[in-house]
Amino acid sequence: MQSATTVAAGSDQSVARPAAPRLATTGAILAAAAALLAAGVLVGFWIAPTDASTLGFSQKIFYIHAPIAETALLAYGVAFVAAILYLRRGDARYDRLGVAAVRLGLLFSALVMITGVVWGRAAWGVWWAWEPRLTTFLLACLLYSGYFVLRGSVDDEARRATYGALFAIIAFVDVPITFFATRFLPAGLHPVVIGPSGSGMDYRDLIAFVAGLAGMTLLFVGLLRVELGIESLHEQLRELKYRLGR
Amino acid sequence: MGWRQFKAMVRKDVVSELRTRETVVSMFLFVVLAMIVFHYAFTVSGGGRLSFYTGGMLWVVFVFGALLGLNRSFAHEKDDGCLDGLLLCPVDRMTIYLAKMTANLIFLGAIQVVAVPVFALFFASGRIATHLPAFLALVVLADLGIAALGTLLATITMNTRSRDLLLPIVFLPLVIPLLIAAASGTSALLSGAAGAPSVLGRLAFLLVYDGVFLVLAYGTYDVAIGE
Amino acid sequence: MAGAGRAAGNHGGGPASEPAGGARSERAGDAPERAGDAAAPEICVEGLGKAFGRRDVLRDVSFTVARGGFLTLFGPNGAGKTTTLRLLATLLKPSSGSVTVAGHDLRGDPAPVRRAIGFISHDPLLYRDLTAHENLRFYADMYGVADAERRIADLLERVELSHRRHDVVATFSKGMQQRLAIARALLHEPRVLLLDEPHSGLDPHAVDLLDGLLGDIRAEHTFVMATHSLRQGLGLADQVLILDGGKVVFAHGGGMAEAEFAATYRAQVREGALV
C-alpha cells in the first residue's frame, strides 16, 4: 500500500531565477532612483526660483511630497490590480505582489503624512490641518493597516489571500471617494495650496518635479522587487520546512 | 424563485429577531445611551452650543449602533452552525446578500424610527420636522450605504478570529465618506444655514457611494461568502 | 445489539447494485451482473484532487456510484471523507479532476447539482430559534418546493415529529434534530443523499430510528455515506471505500462480513480506530 509520503503535487513554485542578475537589475533600478531623486532635490532646492507666494521656501517640499503621494497611490493601484488577478487566476504570486504593494503603499503614505505635517508647520505654523489630501492619506493609512489586521486574523492560507484581495479592491475604490467626501467639509481655516502658485510652473520647477516623480516611481519599483525577492525566499523556506516536517 | 427565496431569508431573520429581540434591543439601548453620553460630554459650563454638533452626533451614534447589528448579520448561521445549510441551497449568492442587507436595513430603520424622535426630544430639534423630506432622503440613502457596505464586510469578517473586533476596524475607515456626507447634510438642515443645493449635493454623493458599493458587492459576493 | 438486526453484508430493501465501474473489486467470487444498470452512473468521480493552500487533502480519488447504489466511505480522521462529501455537495470546489452528480458537471453551474442533492451531517443544519415547521418552511422556500405545506406535513409524519412541529428546535434532543434534518434533506426530493457521520452523537435508540428511516428510503435514492461505525456502514452499503491520507486504499463492491472488513481495514490503514 502506498503511504502518503510523496511530495505534495501542485505546490506553488516560483520560477527560480538565478540570484545574481536579479540583484543586479534591482541594484541598477535603485541607483537610478537615487540619482534622479538627488537631481530633483538639487534642482528644486537650489536652482529653481523661490516661490513668490507666502509659502516661500517651504513650498519646495512639494517636490518630494507630491511624488511620494503619487507613488503611494500607484502602490495601492498595483495592489488593486494584483488582487483582481489573484481572484481570477488563483496564483499565489499575485497575492505576494499585493501584500508587498500594500506594505510599500503604507510606507509612502506615512511619508506623505510626515512631509505634509512638516510643510504645514513651516508654512502656516500648525502641525495639522484637515486638508483634503492629507486627510485622505491619513484615512488610507488606517484603512490599509486594516488590511494587515484582516489577514492576521485568518488562519487558512487560501482564505487569507482571498480576503486580502477583496479588501484591497474595496479599499482602492474607497480612496477617491474619501477624497471627494473630504471636500464637503466647510473650508478650513487655512487655504491650503499644495503646489507652486503663480501663473504656472517655471521650467526649472517642472524639471525638479518630473525628476522627483520619476525617481520616486523607480524607488517604488526597486523596493517592490526587493520585497518580492525576500517574500519569495520566505516562501521557499516555508515550503522546505513543510516538506521536511511531514 | 429568487423572490420567494429572498422573502424566505428576510422573513427568517426578522422572525428570529422578533423572537429573541437580542440585536434590536441592544442597538436601541446603545443609541439612546450614547446620545445621553454625548449630551454630558458636550455640555460645558457657560452653555456650549451643542447645536453645532448635533448632526454629527446623530450619525456617529447611528454608525456605531449599526455596527452592533451588522456584527450579527450572520450570527444565526454561525452560532447554529447552519451556514452550510444556506450555501447548499440552489440560491444565487447575490440573493443572499440582498436578503441579509435588507434585514440589516429593517433593523437599522426600526431603531431610527424610535431614536430620531428621542433625539429631537433631547436636543429640541424642531427643525427636523420642517425639513422632513430632505432629512428622510438623507437617512434612507445613508442607511442603504451602511447596510450595503456593512453586509459585504460582515460576510468577510464572519469567518475570521475575533470577528467582532475586526468588523469595526475595516468598516469605519470605509464608511467615513458616508459619515461626512450624512453628518454635514444633517447639520446643514438642523442649523438652517445651508440651502437646498448643498443638501442635494450630499444626496447625490450618497447615491453614488451606495451605487459603487452595491456594484462592488455584486462583483465580489460569490467569492466573499465562500468557495 | 441493534434492534433492527441487520447482519453485515445483508442488503436492506431495494435492488442491490453491482459494483460500479471505477471501484476495484477485491473479492474472488463475483456477484452476478445485474441488468438494467446500463445507464450512466449517478455519481462519477475521476482523479479528484483537493488542496488547501499547501496541504493536499485529496489525491487522485476515483469512484462511481450507480443509480440507487449505496457507497460507504471509511477511513481515519483526516483521511478526506468529509472533504469528499463536501466536494460532492458543492460546498467546496475541486482543485483537480472531474465530478459529475446526477448528470451535472460540478465545474458548471452549481444550482442544478444543489437541487439534486440532500446533505445530512452530524450538524443538523437547523435554526435553533425557529420551530420545526418554520425550519422546513424556510428550506422549502429556498428549494422552491411545490405544494410546500403538504410536503412538510408528509415528511414530519415520516420522521415521527408531527407532534412537535410547532416546538422550537432548541428544545429537541439530538436524535430528534437528526430526524428533522433528514426531513430537511428530503424536502426537495433529491436524487442523491450525502451523509457525513450521521450517527455520531446519537444514543442507540436514535441510531436504530435513523437506520430504520434510511432503510425505508433506501430504494428511492443514491447514497454516499461517511462513517466510523462499522455496523451501520456495512449494513446498508453495497459498495465500500477506504480512504487514507487522501487516497483510496481499498475498494470493494458487494457484501463483506464485519470481521473480514475490520481485518482488512486494520491491514490497510496505518492508524485510527473503527467503532
Per-residue pLDDT tens over the stretch A223-242:
998 888 888 888 889 889 88
Instruction: Compute the distance between CA of residue C164 and CA of residue A181 in angstroms, rounded to an integer.
Output: 55
Tell me how many residue pairs between chain A and chain B have CB atoms under 8 A apart.
Answer: 78
**Interface membership of B91 toward C (CB under 8 Å):** yes
pLDDT of residue A50: 66
DSSP lists the bridge partners of residue C57 as: none
Residues 6+ apart with CB under 8 A from B8: C137, C138, C141, C142
Contacts of A154 in chain B (CB under 8 A): 159-161
pLDDT at C19 over 60: no
Q: Which residue shows C-alpha cell 436504530? A: C208
Nearest CA of chain B to the CA of A175: how many Å?
9
Cβ <8 Å between C91 and B227: yes
For residues B78-106, average pLDDT: 92
What is the extent of the structural domain holding B186? 3-42+50-226
Cβ <8 Å between B88 and C119: yes
In the stretch 68-87 of chain B, residues with CB closer than 8 A to chain C read 76, 79-82, 84-87
Distances in Å between the Cα of C249 and the Cα atoms of A14, C23, C30, C246 are 33, 11, 20, 9
Coil/strand/helix, residue B28:
helix
pLDDT at B5 over 80: yes
For residues C26-35, average pLDDT: 42
Chains contacting B (3 or more CB pairs within 8 Å): A, C
pLDDT of residue A186: 57
Residue % of chain C over a pLDDT of 90: 39
For residues B54-61, average pLDDT: 87
What is the extent of the structural domain holding A124? 4-245
Residue % of chain A over a pLDDT of 70: 78
pLDDT of residue C28: 39
Chains contacting A (3 or more CB pairs within 8 Å): B, C
Nearest CA of chain B to the CA of C118: how many Å?
9
Q: What ipTM does this complex have?
A: 0.89
- pTM, 2 dp: 0.85
Scanning every residue of chain A, which has its alpha carbon at the shortest distance from the alpha carbon of B223?
A162
Distances in Å between the Cα of A7 and the Cα atoms of A90, A240, B164, C43, C83 are 21, 11, 39, 29, 20
Interstrand relation of C43-52 and C55-65 (parallel, antiparallel or unpaired): antiparallel
Instruction: Give strand ranges (E) for chain A.
Output: none
Cβ <8 Å between C54 and A157: yes
- Alpha helices of A90-131 — where are they, by DSSP H? 92-124
Scanning every residue of chain B, which has its alpha carbon at the shortest distance from the alpha carbon of C123?
B81
pLDDT of residue C194: 95
Cβ <8 Å between C143 and B20: no
Instruction: Compute the distance between CA of residue B113 and CA of residue B131 in angstroms, rounded to an integer.
Output: 16
Torsion of CA A100, A101, A103, A106, to 10 degrees: 170
pLDDT at B122 over 90: no
Instruction: Compute the distance between CA of residue B186 and CA of residue B58 in angstroms, rounded to an integer.
Output: 9
For residues C202-227, average pLDDT: 88
* pLDDT tens, residue by residue, C61-75: 999 999 989 999 998
Report the side by side order of strands in the sheet with C104-105: C55-65, C43-52, C96-101, C104-105
Buried b (16+ CB within 10 A) or exposed e, A50-84: ebeeebeebbbbbbbbbbbbbbbbbbbebbbbbbb
pLDDT of residue B73: 84
pLDDT at A9 over 70: no
Q: Mean pLDDT of all residues in chain B?
A: 88
Scanning every residue of chain C, which has its alpha carbon at the shortest distance from the alpha carbon of A242?
C54
pLDDT of residue B211: 96
pLDDT of residue A128: 81
**Interface membership of B195 toward A (CB under 8 Å):** no
Nearest CA of chain C to the CA of A4: how many Å?
6
How many structural domains are present in chain B? 1
Residue scoring higher pLDDT (B10 or B198):
B10
pLDDT of residue B212: 95
Cβ <8 Å between B227 and C184: no
CB distance A68 to A107 below 8 Å: no
CB distance C134 to C142 below 8 Å: no
pLDDT at B124 over 70: no
pLDDT at C10 over 50: no
pLDDT at B6 over 90: yes
Residue % of chain A over a pLDDT of 90: 31
How many structural domains are present in chain A? 1
For residues B123-142, average pLDDT: 82
Burial of B113 (C-beta count, 10 Å sphere; 0-12/13-18/19+): exposed
Residue scoring higher pLDDT (B51 or C10):
B51
Cell of A50: 523661490
pLDDT of residue A53: 60
pLDDT at A146 over 90: yes
For residues C156-164, average pLDDT: 91
Question: A149: part of which helix (H) or strand (E)?
Answer: helix A132-152
pLDDT of residue C31: 42
Give the lowest-confidence range in A197-211, B47-61, B158-172, B209-223. A197-211
* pLDDT tens, residue by residue, A152-196: 999 888 899 999 999 999 999 999 998 888 876 654 444 455 554
Q: How many CA atoms lie within 13 A of A126 on its CB side?
A: 10
pLDDT of residue B175: 95
pLDDT of residue C15: 41
Q: Mean pLDDT of all residues in chain C?
A: 82
Give the lowest-confidence range in A105-114, A140-149, A191-200, C53-62. A191-200
CB distance C228 to C197 below 8 Å: yes
**Interface membership of B3 toward C (CB under 8 Å):** no
Residues 6+ apart with CB under 8 A from A97: A78, A79, A82, A224, A228
pLDDT of residue A19: 58
Q: Which residue shows C-alpha cell 450570527? A: B75
Instruction: Compute the distance between CA of residue A27 and CA of residue B177 in angstroms, rounded to an integer.
Output: 41
* pLDDT tens, residue by residue, C90-135: 999 898 999 999 889 988 888 999 999 999 988 899 999 899 999 9
Cβ <8 Å between A156 and C270: no
Cβ <8 Å between C268 and A1: yes
Cβ <8 Å between C49 and A156: no
The CATH number of whichever domain residue A129 belongs to comes to: 1.20.120
Scanning every residue of chain B, which has its alpha carbon at the shortest distance from the alpha carbon of C184?
B85
Q: Mean pLDDT of all residues in chain A?
A: 80
pLDDT at B166 over 90: yes
Cβ <8 Å between B156 and A150: yes
Q: Which of C50, C127, C200 to mutate to test the interface with B (most CBs of B within 10 A)?
A: C127
Of B13, B74, B84, residue with least CA distance to C123: B84
Of A229, A242, A222, A221, residue with least CA distance to A96: A229
pLDDT of residue B67: 93
For residues A75-96, average pLDDT: 93
- Chain CA centroid to CA A177, Å: 19
